[in-house]
Structure formats: structure tokens, C-alpha cells
């Protein structure tokens, strides 16, 4: 939960054309205290919140930013529900949940991208072209407006396969080339943030994830299919460390030799 009181205090002061010195005088604190509130290094004492809210003629909820907090919590819950539906193969319910969420948050790129993923999975079982067309339209809309790198990368990866479905191979290849190199991915970089035993632990997790993805692609290559890759983009690979690491290494070795 992110308290936005500092950000809100700064906005309110500027909107009302007040100086930090003036507010310090009103609330009986130092200008330095006002500055610390606004940069969120400290918060006002809880007993001061009613007087601050009354001064600006707003509620304490507005001052803290509770509407934003509730919205984030509600959106995160929706994503969890959607992922649960997708993991159980209940794609129609996932799509319905996302469509309802988009009615409330029509420009939320996370929901738009997630709906494109769900429609892609749906297409693999239903093969209706309108699902692909809608998923492509949603994905291209996300790439035009989203600044969230994670959402953009996930959307791009899924869009590559969507372009392949409509035989737009050149578009797919061009888009794929804009994605990060393997040495720039988090599975490779995250271990470097740790030392000693933690480094080894994170490195094993990264290797397991990469190995799981590669082995699933090897299995798919036998029939040159993309269906499970589409689902993997939405849900991630199976990275259970107890899931036959030795067998995965043997599969990889046989494939490469």
C-alpha cells in the first residue's frame, strides 16, 4: 500500500499558491518539516491530519489518497482472479472478468494487455479469427500508450505470435528484435544483486526458469506449435524445482547433440 500524502500535500500547496513557510506558520511546524512531508521522508503526526484536511476543505481519505489505494488493491485482486481462471483453463471467465474491469478502467494498459493474452489463449481452443483481430488491436493500442516496460515486453512477446497467426511474419520478426537480449533479462541479472549463498540461490532459480522455458519450446518443436508458448506468456513457465531438473537437462542435451 502506497501512502500518497506527501505528493498530495505538495499538489494542494501549489494549487492554493502557498509557500512552505506559510504552511509552517499555519500548522506550527518548521518549513523543513513541510519539506520532509512533501518528499515523503516523514509524515505529519496522525493528530494533525484532521486539521490539515479541514484547512484544505477535503476529507482525510482524500488527503491520504485512499481512493487510489483502494483502486490499486481492487485492480491487483482482479489480476489475481484472472490468473487463477487462466491457470484452471477457465478462459471464458477470465475474459468476462477483464471485459468488466475495462468498463471501469477503459485505459488501463495492464487490463488491455491481459485481455489480449486471454483472447490469444482462447483462440488456440476456438480458432475464431475475431479473437486474433481483437487481441492484435488491443496489443497495438497498449504499445501506443503504455510506458510500463513490463507490460510493453509482455504485450510485444504475445503480439509476435499473433502476427504469426495472420501470416504477418515480417512484422513478427521486426517486433521480436525489439525485445531484450537474453543477457538483459531478470533471470540473468537478478543474481548479480546478491552475494554468496543468496547469489547461488537466485542463480539456481534463474537457471531453472530459463531451462523450463527452453524445454517447453523443445517439446513444442516436435510439432512446431505455439499454443503452450502463448499460455506461458500469460502464466509463466512451470518452474517447480522438484519437477525433474535432471530430465530437463537430458532433454536439452539430446536436442543440442
Domain with CATH 1.10.260.40 in the chain: 5-64
Q: Distances in Å between the alpha carbon of 59 and those of 2, 159, 168?
A: 18, 44, 53
Residue that the C-alpha cell 523543513 belongs to: 32
In the chain, which ranges are continuous DSSP H helix? 5-15, 20-27, 31-38, 49-56, 60-64, 66-87, 91-104, 109-126, 129-145, 149-165, 169-176, 186-189, 196-221, 227-235, 245-256
What is the share, in percent, of the chain residues with pLDDT greater than 70? 89
For 244-253, write each residue's pLDDT tens digit: 788 888 989 9
CATH 1.10.260.40 fits 5-64, yes or no: yes
pLDDT score of 90 more than 60: yes
Q: Which of 41-55, 173-187, 217-231 has the lowest mean pLDDT?
A: 217-231
Cβ–Cβ < 8 Å for 110, 75: yes
Domain with CATH 1.25.40.10 in the chain: 75-172
Cβ–Cβ < 8 Å for 166, 136: yes
Question: pLDDT value at position 223?
Answer: 66
Secondary element (H or E) of residue 43: none
Residues 6+ apart with CB under 8 A from 179: 153, 156, 157
pTM over 0.95: no
Alpha carbon 22 to its chain centroid, in Å, reads 41
pLDDT score of 194 more than 80: yes
Instruction: Tell me the mean pLDDT in the region 221-249.
Output: 68
| Residue 36: count of CB within 10 angstroms of its CB | 16
CATH architecture classification, 75-172: Alpha Horseshoe (1.25)
Instruction: Tell me the mean pLDDT in the region 203-228.
Output: 79
Amino acid at each position: 500500500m502506497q501512502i500518497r500524502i506527501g505528493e498530495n500535500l505538495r499538489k494542494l500547496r501549489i494549487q492554493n499558491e502557498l509557500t512552505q513557510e506559510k504552511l509552517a506558520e499555519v500548522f506550527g511546524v518548521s518549513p523543513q518539516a513541510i519539506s520532509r512531508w512533501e518528499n515523503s521522508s516523514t509524515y505529519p503526526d496522525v493528530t494533525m491530519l484532521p486539521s490539515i484536511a479541514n484547512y484544505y476543505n477535503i476529507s482525510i481519505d482524500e488527503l491520504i489518497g485512499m481512493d487510489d489505494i483502494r483502486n490499486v488493491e481492487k485492480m491487483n485482486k482482479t489480476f489475481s482472479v484472472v490468473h487463477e481462471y487462466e491457470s484452471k483453463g477457465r478462459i471464458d471467465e477470465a475474459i468476462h472478468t477483464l471485459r468488466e474491469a475495462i468498463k471501469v478502467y477503459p485505459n488501463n494498459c495492464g487490463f488491455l494487455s491481459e485481455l489480449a493474452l486471454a483472447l490469444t489463449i482462447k483462440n488456440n481452443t476456438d480458432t475464431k479469427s475475431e479473437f486474433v483481430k481483437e487481441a492484435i488491436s488491443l496489443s497495438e493500442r497498449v504499445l501506443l500508450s503504455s510506458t510500463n516496460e513490463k507490460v510493453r515486453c509482455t504485450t510485444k512477446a504475445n503480439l509476435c505470435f499473433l502476427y504469426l497467426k495472420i501470416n504477418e511474419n515480417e512484422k513478427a520478426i521486426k517486433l521480436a528484435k525489439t525485445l531484450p537480449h537474453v543477457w538483459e533479462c531478470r533471470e540473468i541479472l537478478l543474481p548479480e544483486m546478491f552475494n554468496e549463498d543468496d547469489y547461488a540461490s537466485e542463480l539456481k532459480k534463474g537457471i531453472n526458469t530459463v531451462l523450463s522455458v527452453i524445454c517447453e519450446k523443445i517439446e513444442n518443436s516436435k510439432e512446431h506449435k505455439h499454443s503452450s508458448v502463448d499460455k506461458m506468456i500469460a502464466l509463466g513457465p512451470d518452474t517447480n524445482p522438484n519437477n525433474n531438473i535432471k530430465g530437463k537437462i537430458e532433454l536439452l542435451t539430446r536436442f543440442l547433440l
